[in-house]
Structure 1
Amino acid sequence: MLTLVLLSVALSTCVKGALPPPCDSEIYCSGPILHQVQRAKLFNDDKHFVDMKLRETPDVVLSAFRNLSSESLNATVPPAKLQEFLKAYFEEPGTEFESWTPPDWHDNPKFLEGIANQELRNWAKKIHILWKSLGRKISAGVRDHPELYSQIYSPHPVVVPGGRFRELYYWDSYWVINGLLLSEMTDTAHGMIQNFLHLVDRYGFVPNGGRIYYERRSQPPFLPLMVERYYQATKNKEFLRAALPALEQEYRFWMQNRSVTVEVNGAKHTLNRYHVQVGSPRPESYTDDLELAEGLTDVGKEQLWMDLKAGAESGWDFSSRWYTDGHIHGSLGDTGTSQVLPADLNALLCRNERTLASFHRILGDGDSAALYDQNAARRLEAVESVLWDVERGAWFDFNLMTHSKHLEFYPSNLAPVWAQCYSRPEMGEKAVQYLKESGALQFPNGVPTSLRESGQQWDYPNAWPPLQHMLIDGRLT
Structure 2
Amino acid sequence: MSTPTPTPTPTPTCSNSGPVVPKTPLITFLEILQKTALNTLGPKNFNPKLYVDLSLKSNLSITQNAFDDLPRTPNGSVSVTDLNGFIQSYFNGAGEDLVHTEPVDFVPEPEGFLPEVVNWEVRAWALEVHSLWKNLSRKVSDRVLEWPEFHTLLPLTKPVIIPGSRFREVNYWDSYWVISLFSSIFLMGGALNLSCRGLLASKMYETAKGIVTNLISLIDEFGHVLNGARAYYTNRSQPPLLSAMVYDIYTRTGDIDFARKSLPALLKEHKFWNSEIHSVIIHDAEGCNRTLSRYYAMWNKPRPESSTIDIETASKLMNDSAKQYLYRDLASTAESGWDFSTRWMRNGSDLTTLATTSIIPVDLNAFILKMELDIVFLANVTGDCTISVHFQEAAQARKQAMNSVFGMQRWGNGLIIGLAMELHAR
Under a length normalisation based on structure 1, what TM-score does the superposition of the two structures give?
A: 0.77
Match of 1:315 in 2: 337
Q: Which moved more, 1:157-166 or 1:106-115?
A: 106-115
What 5-or-longer segments of structure 2 have no aligned partner? Answer: 1-6, 181-197
Secondary structure (helix, strand or coil) at the match of 1:93 reads: coil
AA in 2 matched with 1:313 = E
8 A Cα contact 1:39 1:287, kept in partner: no
1:298 aligns with 2:320: yes
1:382 equivalent in alignment to 2:382: no
1:243 is the counterpart of 2:262: yes
Matches within 5 A, 1:431-470: none
What is the aligned partner in structure 1 of residue 183 from structure 2?
Answer: none
Contact 1:389 1:396 in 2 (8 A): no
Offset of 1:283 from its aligned partner? 1.9
Structure 1 residues 197 and 146: CA distance shift in structure 2, 3 A: same
SS in 2 for 1:321: helix
Unaligned runs of 5+ in 1: 404-477
Instruction: Give the distance between the partners of 1:290 and 1:373, measured in 2 at CA.
Output: 45
- Alignment partner, residue 27 of structure 2: 27
Q: 1:347 to 1:198 in 2, by over 3 A?
A: same
- Choose from 380, 388, 391 the match for 1:369: 388
Give the whole-Å Cα distance in 1 for the aligned partners of 2:27 and 2:47. Answer: 17
- Residue in 2 that maps onto 1:124: 126
Rounded to whole Å, the distance in 2 between the matches of 1:258 and 1:40 is: 40
Alignment of 1:396-475 (within 5 A): 396-401=419-424
CA contact (8 A) 2:30 2:51 kept: no
Distance verdict in 2 for CA 1:245–1:237, change over 3 Å: same
Instruction: Determine helix, strand or coil for the equivalent of 1:95.
Output: coil
Report the secondary structure of 2:395's partner residue: helix
The answer for the alignment partner of 1:158 in structure 2 is: 160
Cα displacement (A) at 1:115: 0.3
Aligned residue among 261, 264, 268 for 2:281: 261
Q: Classify 1:374/1:390 alpha carbon distance in 2 versus 1 (closer, same or farther; 3 Å).
A: closer
For 1:91, the equivalent position in structure 2 comes to: 92
Tell me: higher relative CO, structure 1 or 2? Use CA pairs within 8 A at least 6 residues apart: 2
- What aligned pairs does 1:330-341 form with structure 2 within 5 A after superposition? 330-341=349-360
Which deviates further from its counterpart, 282-291 or 213-222?
A: 282-291
How many equivalent residue pairs? Answer: 392
Which of 57-66 and 362-371 deviates more? 57-66
Q: Which amino acid is the alignment partner of residue 25 of structure 2?
A: S
Shift of the 76–136 alpha-carbon distance from structure 1 to 2, 3 Å rule, reads same
Q: CA deviation at 1:85?
A: 2.6
Confirm or deny: 8 A CA contact 1:27 1:58 kept in the other structure.
no
Corresponding letter in the other structure for 2:16: L
Q: Does the 8 A contact of 1:96 with 1:142 survive in 2? A: yes
State the distance in 2 between where 1:253 and 1:40 align.
41
**d(CA) in 1 for partners of 2:8 and 2:114?**
53
Counterpart code for 2:65: S
Can you list the C-alpha shifts for 1:177-212, whole angstroms capped at 9, x where unaligned? 121111011111111111111111111111101111
Deviation string, structure 1 residues 212-239 (Cα, Å, up to 9, x no partner): 1111111001111111111111111111
Contact 1:388/1:396, CA 8 A, preserved across alignment: no
Q: Do the aligned residues in 2 keep the contact of 1:161 with 1:169 (CA within 8 Å)?
A: yes
Pair 1:35–1:242, CA change in 2 (3 A)? same
Read off the aligned partner of 1:220 and give its amino acid letter.
P
1:62 CA displacement: 2.4
Give CA-to-partner distance per residue, 1:219-264, whole Å, 9 cap, x none. Answer: 0011111111111111111111111111111111111131111111
- Matched with 1:451 is none
Kindly state the Cα deviation for residue 29 of structure 1 after the two structures are TM-superposed. 7.2
Alignment of 1:181-196 (within 5 A): 181-196=200-215
1:149 aligns with 2:170: no
Structure 1, residues 342-384: CA drift from partner, whole Å, max 9, x if none?
A: 1100001011111111211222221221110111011001111
1:314 aligned partner, one-letter code:
S
Map of 1:218-237 to 2, 5 A cutoff? Answer: 218-237=237-256
- Preserved contact between residue 28 and residue 150 of structure 1 (Cα < 8 Å): no
Does the 8 A contact of 1:258 with 1:272 survive in 2? yes
Deviation at 1:67, TM superposition (A): 4.1
Name the counterpart of 1:427: none
> Do the aligned partners of residues 65 and 7 (structure 1) sit closer, same or farther apart at CA in structure 2, a change above 3 Å counting?
farther
User: Counterpart of 1:260 in structure 2: which amino acid?
Assistant: V
Q: How far does residue 37 in structure 1 lie from its aligned partner after superposition?
A: 3.1
The letter of the residue matching 1:388 is: G
Letter in 1 for 2:419: F
Separation in 1 of the partners of 2:316 and 2:166? 31
User: What is the TM-score with the length of structure 2 in the denominator?
Assistant: 0.85
Secondary structure of 1:114's counterpart equals: coil
In the other structure, the counterpart of 1:11 is: 16
**Distance in 2 between the 1:99 and 1:148 partners?**
20
Counterpart CA distance in 1 for 2:70 and 2:351 is 36
Provide the C-alpha distance between the structure 2 equivalents of 1:254 and 1:91, rounded to a whole number of angstroms.
36
In structure 2, the residue matched to 1:432 is none
1:177 pairs, out of 173, 176, 179, with: 179
Corresponding letter in the other structure for 1:122? A
Classify the secondary structure of the residue corresponding to 2:290. Answer: strand
Q: Retained in 2: the 8 A contact 1:262–1:268? A: yes
Which string of whole-angstrom CA distances, capped at 9 and with x for unpartnered residues, describes residues 279-334 of structure 1? 22222222221221113121111211111111111111111100023x5xx42222
CA contact (8 A) 1:27 1:34 kept: no
Q: In 2, are the aligned partners of 1:323 and 1:337 still within 8 Å (CA)?
A: yes
Change (3 A) 1:115 1:145: same
Aligned CA distance change for structure 1 residues 277 and 200 (closer, same or farther; 3 Å):
closer
Tell me if the contact between 2:244 and 2:374 (Cα under 8 Å) persists in the aligned partners: yes
Q: Name the residue aligned to 2:234.
A: 215
Q: Percent identity of the aligned residues?
A: 36
Q: 2:302 aligns with which of 263, 278, 281?
A: 281
Question: What's the RMSD between the two structures over aligned residues?
Answer: 2.5
| C-alpha contact 2:27 2:232 (8 A) present in aligned 1 | no
Change (3 A) 1:116 1:29: farther
Distance 1:20 1:102 in 2: 35
Q: Check whether the contact 1:311–1:337 (CA below 8 A) recurs between aligned residues.
A: yes
**Cα 1:113–1:170, aligned 2, differ >3 Å: closer, same or farther?**
same
Q: Tell me the SS of whatever aligns to 1:113.
A: coil
Give the aligned partner of residue 100 of structure 1: 101
Q: Deviations over 1:414-469 (max 9, x none)?
A: xxxxxxxxxxxxxxxxxxxxxxxxxxxxxxxxxxxxxxxxxxxxxxxxxxxxxxxx
Query: 1 CA distance for matches of 2:40 and 2:299?
Result: 23
